[in-house]
Structures are given as structure tokens and as C-alpha cells.
Structure 1
Amino acid sequence: MGNRVKIAKSAYCGRFAPSPTGPLHFGSLVAAVGSYLDAKFNDGQWIVRIEDLDRQREIKGAASRILHTLEALGMEWDGQVVYQSQRLTYYQAALDELNQRDLIYPCVCSRKEIADSSIVGINGPIYPGTCGEGPMFVKDAHALRVRTHHKPIVFKDFLRGLCMQNLKQEIGDFILRRADGFFSYQLAVVVDDAQQGITHVVRGADLLDSTPRQIFLQQLLGYDTPYYMHLPVVINSVGEKLSKQTRAPAIELSCALMYLVQAIRFLGQNPPAEIVQGDIASFWQWAKKNWRIQQIPRDSARGINSCA
């Protein structure tokens, strides 16, 4: 086995869950490749889920374009693609359960009110709990927040080791359903991961701070907690996360193999020089056999932006 760390067969189910707010770019490709290789190296399943809850931010045709890009890159997923927009009843059922146990409450505070009465935490203003003691039912449009506590949420990340967060102090009671009726990412991803049987979550380190909130909800809802591995984030020339918001260019399929090679190199893997002269099939054959999580760097770094 050498320095390979392999998980028991048939024990692994991973996923890639992009938002259809634009085409696949190099930053999201790194996350896709990392999750795909970790699943395939461990003889596991790899599921694709389209996180299209916020229809206001969705770009028409982006979901199909992302799926087409994954196919062109030779990344084969297991089962049917799941769309969060088709799963609203499951999220509502989870909210109903939490409501019955008095674990959530309505909040009518505006962003300005929260900013004026809060201290700033790792993800912005920490909600001070203003509405936490109010009536359970209100007539005005309102968000729904979950009651947090001071007991630290502790988990082990495969790359970063032991992580800990006090939700009450560092985040505050957080939103599960927005005032406009949209379910939050935190709730939806927890319900989806549980119902899809996800055992391993491999994603970008920009989501590391969300993990304690998700584990907290898993505990409240009686779900199993997956294993987590947060990959380094690709940044641009000015130190910003490579994303659709920072105008990251789309993957150019005419350079598909080059992008794949750059992605695994970004993840610390060392493919042979001749691999760039081959094809996508031979690339994956080598990559699936030679995946080494011990070589993945922890820190974010610059990546490529084009075929140049």
C-alpha cells in the first residue's frame, strides 16, 4: 500500500454539489476533482447534486452546462442528479420537526438592526438572540432561526486535524429559512447529505466554517455525521477566492486534459510528465490509482485561469 490511506470498500459515498450560478471554473473544478478522486480511490460512489435553492441567483442553463462539462472531463457520477429545488418538502419536514421540539423561532430583525446590535464574528454580525424569547407565531414576514448553545462543536478534518467552534459565541442562532421563504444552505445540505447516504464530504476550505453548523443540525435531527476533508481554495492574482463573483473564467473544454492535470497538481499530486501527452481516459486511470491525500497542501494558492 505504501503511503496510501484507503477506506473500507462499500463504505464510501461522496458528492459534488455545485450551485448553477455560472459555468464550472477552475476553483470549482479542483473541488470536483478532489471529491471524485477520493471516492474512486476508495471504491466508493460519487453523487452530483445541483444546489439550486436560490432561484434569484441561478443563471439559466448553468446546471446543464456544468453537467456537460463534467461529462466532457470524463467524470462519471452514480445514480440520478438531484436538484434541491425539487426537494422542498423534505426541508420543510425537517423544519417542522425542529419546530415541534421548540428548537427554532421566528425572527423579524432586519440586517441593519442586527448589525447595529451585534458584534462581528467569523461570518459577519453574530445574532444577539433578540427574538429568541418572543412569541412563537408572528404575522409579519419572518426568518426562522435555530437555537444554538455554548457547547463546542468538535470534529476532525482529514487535512486540518481537530477543529472546534462555539456556535453561540462565534455564529449565534442562525437562519434555517429566510424571510422570503427560501430554505438556507445549512439546512438543505444537511437533509440532503443524510437522505443520500453521504459518508464523506470533500469540498473547499471556504466552507470549513459552515461545518460546525451542519454537524449541530445533524445532531439535532438525529443524522449521522459524515467525515470531512476541506481542500485548499484557489485564489486569483489579488488574493480573492476564484469564484463566479470574482469573474473566474469557465473551463475551456478544448483544453480539458490540461485543466485536469493542473487541478491534481494544485492538490499536491505528481503525475508523470508524459500524462499531458495522453488522453482523458489514461489520465483518470493514473489519477484514480495514485491519489494521495497526504500530499494535499492545506493552504490556498493561485491557480490557472485559462489555457494560456
Structure 2
Amino acid sequence: MRLRLIQIDAFADRVFRGNPAAVMPLPSWLPDPVLQDIAEENNLSETAFYVADLPSDAGPPPKAEPPPDAEPPSADTPAYHLRWFTPAVEVDLCGHATLATAGQLFEDVHPEAGRILFWTRSGWLPVSRTDRDGELELDFPAGDLRPVPESDEVSAAAVTALGIDPEFRFQDTDLVYVLRDAAAVRAVVPDFTALARLPVRGAVVTAPSDTDGVDFVSRWFGAGAGAFEDPVTGSAHSQIAPYWAKRLGRPRLTARQLSARGGTLGCEVDGDRVRLRGTWRRYLDGTATIPEPIR
């Protein structure tokens, strides 16, 4: 069996920046172990697989309109079933691979569409074009950070593994630590072996920015999910953007993830949703050969 494989750098203003994701359109779902093998072979933080057929439990698509400055949606908005796999596990939410998938679909399949819908393990996720060339906007569920006491054993172990002295400790999908400044975020050198033993997807360190035009910075470490340090993590920003919006007193912010590749995201908090904006660059178009019979 031969399958298309497209590699796209998401939240990137040029190739070799942002977060690379593999995008693989499928005629129908392959067995989960095969999807996991493909993701492991691709060896990127996420591989996105999608099919055109929606599951019976998808429910009605959201009625919300895209933002005012986005292109208007077509009368029949395209919809797909989307799943994401790291080299180790399937995940419930992924920002950069959703951005990459939408970019591939807008460019290759739906050049006239202004909006695409994805049914996922996190429900319906709309993606819209904006008025900026090449920029897309993801509509994600907002996180709900809960304070974590210093006595919490898992959190304390993560603090030790990260070698940090956080000002505040939170948890949602990931552990989240607010540090005193951007320099402290840059200085983190994690013990990935220790992090991988913890029963959490990942850990975020974040702080106010020290760069003009950027409001807050972060890094994300996901050894438990097989990702180690992720270059740019959309799902982490859906967790931390509401915190920074409240702390800084405005809903629309610019974030920078301080990985080696780096990436910039626009964040807008709107009730229980977070809209994440970013650009993408296509890097590779190829074909994957999958042995048959498919097990």
C-alpha cells in the first residue's frame, strides 16, 4: 500500500522553523497498531491522519461563525475525521499538526474554502483562514489550570527533574510552572529520564517575555508522550493563554515558544475557547510504502 506523506513546518515563518508535522490522508482508517508504527517511523512529535468519513458519534458541527477578519465560510464547509499520534501514543489534542493538516487541505483540496472542520478526540475543531496570507486560526477548547500544592509528589518530582524554582504551580492536561522571567525559561535543562517516569503527558514552563512584541514565552517537555522537547505546542498554549490573558488584562496576546527551532503564536481567549493563529510552510511531499497484508 502506498500513502501520501506531506511534512509541514507549523507555526513557522520559513522552512526549518516552527514544529514539523507529518500529514497523511487515508482512504479509510488503518488498524491503530499500524498508525502507531507509521508515527514511530516518521519520528516527528506528531503525525496527523485524516479521513473524509465522519464517525456516527460526531454529532452536529459547530454553528459558530469564523472571526470577523477571516474569509467567509463556504455554504458547505468541508469536514474530516482527524487523529494525532506521537511516536509513542495517540493524543487527545494537538495544535501544530492540526494547523499543518488544515494548510495541506486548503492548498491541495479546498482552495476556495474559508473554513475547515475537524472531528477529533477533543470534539469539533474549526480552522479558518485569516486576512494574512498563509495564516490560519485554530479554534480550541480553553484549558482550566488548577493550583497544585508544593506537597504534590508528582509535581515536586517534575520540579526536580526540570531543575526549576517556580513562582506558581498548576495542572491541566500538563503540569504548568510559571517562572520569574524569560531567562529562567531559557535556562531549563530537564532530566528527560526522570520526566518520562511521571504519570503526566508533559510539563510547561512559562514566564513574561523580555522581547518587544511578545507577551509571554514558554517551553514544553513531553518525555511521557515520547516527544521530549516539542518545538511549538499549540495544545499547551490553549492551557496557558487564559492564565496570561487574565494576568496581563487583555484577551489577545502574542506568544513565543523558546525551543531551538522556535515559533510564534497569536492567542485570543474568548470564554471557554482559545483561538491560536500561526503560519505554515510546506517542506516535503512524498509517498510511504506500507507492507501488505495490513495486520
- Structure holding more helix per residue: 1
**Same fold per superposition (TM over 0.5):** no
Q: Which structure's CA Rg is the greater one?
A: 1
Q: Which has the higher strand share?
A: 2
What TM-score do you get using the length of structure 2 for normalisation? 0.25
